Amino acid sequence: MTDKKLEDFLPNKNGSYFKKFEIKNDVNLISKEQIIERIKTVMDPEIPVNLYDLGLIYSITNSNNKVVIEMTLTNPNCPVAGQMPENVAKSIEQIYGLSSIEVKLVWKPTWNKDLMSEDAKLALDIF
């Protein structure tokens, strides 16, 4: 019998997702607003608010429609931690002209309620 560590029972905390697409070079640059609009369709599995308004998206970079997103979770022990980067990426895959999408799960800075939008705080009665 092998020795098990606590980490063996926790969800994948180093989750990331990458996918490359074949596109034509004549496609316009995808706007940050288009990306945010798609991310806002992804809801937190435990809180009835989208990930963007929860403040879980730390950065969005776009270079020639190669989109890279760094995100976090409200809690590193979230049972769907490894699945959330894929959920975000799949929402963005709907945008025409995407060259590639990479979503990285990061843990610094630590998420806190101050990162939430006013709409999210209002929806959750947090003042």
CA 22, 25, 28, 32 torsion-angle sign: positive
- Tell which residue, 71, 44, 54, has the closest CA to residue 116: 54
Residue 88 belongs to some domain of the structure: yes
Residue 117 belongs to some domain of the structure: yes
pTM for the predicted model, two decimal places: 0.83
Q: How many domains does one find in the chain?
A: 1
Residue 1 belongs to some domain of the structure: no
**pLDDT tens profile 51-108:** 999 999 999 999 999 999 999 998 888 888 889 999 999 999 989 999 999 999 999 9
Residue 80 belongs to some domain of the structure: yes
Task: Tell me the mean pLDDT in the region 16-21.
Answer: 90
| pLDDT of 12 | 54
Residue 86: which H helix or E strand, with range? helix 84-92
Angstrom distance (rounded) from CA 105 to CA 50: 16
**pLDDT tens profile 1-15:** 566 554 554 455 567
Name the residue with higher pLDDT: 22 or 95: 95
Q: What angle do CA 35, 37, 39 make, to 5 degrees?
A: 70
